[in-house]
Structure 1
Amino acid sequence: MNTLFRPALSLLLLLTSQVSLACLLTIGVVPQFEQRKLLEIWQPIMDQLSQATECRVDLAGSENIPDFEAKFMAGRFDIAYMNPYHAVMAHAAQGYEPFLRSKSNLQGVLVVKDDSPIKDVSELQGQPVAFPSPNALGASLLMRAELKNLHGVDVDARYVNTHPSVYLHVAKGLTVAGGGVQKTFDEQPQVIRDRLRVLYSTRETPSHPLVIHPRLGKEQTQTVIKALTKIASEQPALFDAIPMPGPTATTYRDYQPLEELHLEQFQH
């Protein structure tokens, strides 16, 4: 190559690199699954979002739910998939705005062993009850709030990390009851479901949304929302895996009623 052109080429490569680095979108996902599965689920969506926005799109991992919470509270994600109460926390802390969610609602369920003598939630006063994590909305926060505020019941909460672990704890008699959500209960193997009985169901709330940080600005925000809405419309199977079946547009107005429940009293 002619040496006269080398400085110009170097400058072009530098400018191209700077443009690429200047357009980076970071996605955070509540760690419902292990990191490898999350990447498998989100990679096709991220690839198409990258093409539509001409930005590099990265999945930012979180070790656990508290780590995920710390990151969105600090505004570390441009886009995030989170539970409904997380959306309330993120909106208050950073101004994150929900824009896409499943058309189906979230409902907590409290299960006991199929042969358990317990017939009413009042019998759970002081009893060991398994929950996946302190701030899981339907399974923990909403369930504990309703037990306390509607039924005057305080339980001995045991946190076992995942929904499947909750159902196993109850099925094996390690706790007298456990909190989950209807969807994850329905997804359990038949042999587990046959050993459990739903004792109580919470009110329904809007399901996990995708939220976006206001620092992206109006133009880029609309580009991202339009791109993800288009992908969801044309390839709903990709969003089924998130899981976000039947994606539909949403706003913070759908989640604002959760503010009135004062779930912060049950947060850890």
Structure 2
Amino acid sequence: MACSPLKTALSALFLVGWPLGAQAAEPATYTLAVVPQFDLRRIEAVWRPIVDHLQSATGARFTLVTETTIPVFEKGLHGGAYDFAYMNPYHYVVVHQRQGYKPLVRDVEDKLSGIVVVRKDSGLTDARMLDGRKVAFPAPNAMGAALIPRAEFSRKLGIRITEVYVKSHGSAYLNVMMGQADAAGGIRATFDQQKPELRDGLAVIYETEQYTPHPLAAHPRVPAEMAEKVQQAMIALGTTPMGDALLDGIPIKTIGIARDSDYDALRNLGLEAFYVEQ
């Protein structure tokens, strides 16, 4: 007895499988870049568990991007290369205007400020004493470590310095300890992470004004639903001791929702005069 056309078609489906369009779709993949203010090994150690958490919470895949220097990271930001990015506050001001990045979360307790350090045995006790001297910075647009200090040196203290850019916060501190620079710009978080033999040989002689800290932001091409999932997954980390420990490594003391208006004060500082295009 001959098989009916329907029975033949069904048999073929069972033999070769359903059409490709009927298979479960692959999860979307997004890039997440982190400003390299810390050693890349530290960034990997801190952010890898967070990325794993985001994958579990959202069902998407995330590729952690760790650029070698802040200027390389900035080029990616300016070009909209990253779907999600943890960036300094003035980076956000710039790329919100250029690319439309939207802030998701930030530290809602601590503020960001810059520090200036010297060797303890240098005899330098006041930032005004740096007039005409060499100051090491990680990169021109590292906000707390370079951008704000450079602006305040010029506008607030009325001093001129010789700027030296050495790629990382750690290298800036080391340049001072080795006598290759008279001072270095940094932030408390990176200074506190230095080895005791380096940190204990340096003294903080200046601290800048305080500002809203780094946001994690999403590029507008990311679907709004996914951006919200990432936002809620990050906030959920702050509800458990284990999650708090992960956030502390970023460092974020108390995580909360970030809004574009949180960065309006920075927009009014005129920092574009000190921002260096990479």
Aligned partner of 2:45 among 35, 40, 46:
40
Could you say what secondary structure the match of 1:157 adopts?
Answer: strand
Most deviating of 231-240 and 157-166:
231-240
TM-score by length of 2: 0.86
What CA distance in whole angstroms lies between the structure 2 residues aligned with 1:6 and 1:72?
Answer: 49
Structure 1 pair 113–48 and aligned structure 2 pair: CA distance change class (3 A)? closer
- Give CA-to-partner distance per residue, 1:171-193, whole Å, 9 cap, x none: 22211111111222223233323
Letter in 1 for 2:184: G
SS of residue in 2 equivalent to 1:237:
helix
Residues 172-251 of structure 1 aligned to structure 2 (within 5 Å)? 172-234=178-240, 235-251=243-259
SS at match of 1:215: coil
* Aligned Cα root-mean-square deviation (Å): 2.1
Instruction: State whether residues 77 and 213 of structure 1, in contact with CA within 8 Å, keep that contact through their aligned partners in structure 2.
Output: yes
Distance 1:257 1:111 in 2: 26
* Counterpart Cα distance in 1 of 2:12 and 2:47: 44
Question: In 2 relative to 1, CA 62–195 (structure 1 residues): closer, same or farther, beyond 3 Å?
Answer: closer
More strand by share: 1
Q: Which residue of 2 aligns with 1:90?
A: 95
> Which residue of the other structure, out of 8, 33, 54, is the alignment partner of 2:17?
8
1:259 and 2:267 correspond: yes
Q: Identity of aligned pairs, percent?
A: 40
Q: Among residues 137, 147, 152, which one is paired with 2:143 in the alignment? A: 137
1:224 Cα deviation (Å)? Answer: 2.1
Counterpart of 2:104 in structure 1: which amino acid?
Answer: F
8 Å CA contact 1:26, 1:58 repeated in 2: yes
Higher helix share: 1
Q: 2: distance between equivalents of 1:5 and 1:35?
A: 50
Q: Output the CA distance in 1 between the equivalents of 2:39 and 2:19.
A: 41
Q: What is the number of equivalent residue pairs in this alignment?
A: 263
Q: 1:173 to 1:208 in 2, by over 3 A?
A: same
Q: Superposed, which structure 2 residues align to 1:157-172 within 5 Å?
A: 157-172=163-178
Confirm or deny: 8 A CA contact 1:233 1:247 kept in the other structure: no
What is the alpha-carbon distance in structure 2 between the residues aligned to residue 183 and residue 61 of structure 1? 19
TM-score, normalization: structure 1? 0.89
Query: Judging changes above 3 Å, is the alpha-carbon distance between structure 1 residues 201 and 51 closer, same or farther for their aligned structure 2 residues?
Result: same
Q: C-alpha displacement at 1:151, in angstroms?
A: 1.4
Query: In 2, Cα distance between the equivalents of 1:12 and 1:217?
Result: 22
Between 253-262 and 146-155, the greater mean CA deviation after superposition: 253-262
Superposed CA deviations along residues 53-79 of structure 1, whole A, max 9, x for unmatched, are: 221222133232122111122222221
CA-CA distance at 1:249 after TM superposition: 2.2
8 Å CA contact 1:25, 1:56 repeated in 2: yes
Alignment deviations for residues 80-119 of structure 1 (CA, whole Å, 9 cap, x no partner):
1111111111211111122211221111111122122333
Separation of aligned partners in 1, 2:245 and 2:32 = 19
Contact 1:111 1:197 in 2 (8 A): yes
1:4 is displaced (CA, Å) by: 4.5
Q: Which has the larger Rg? A: 2
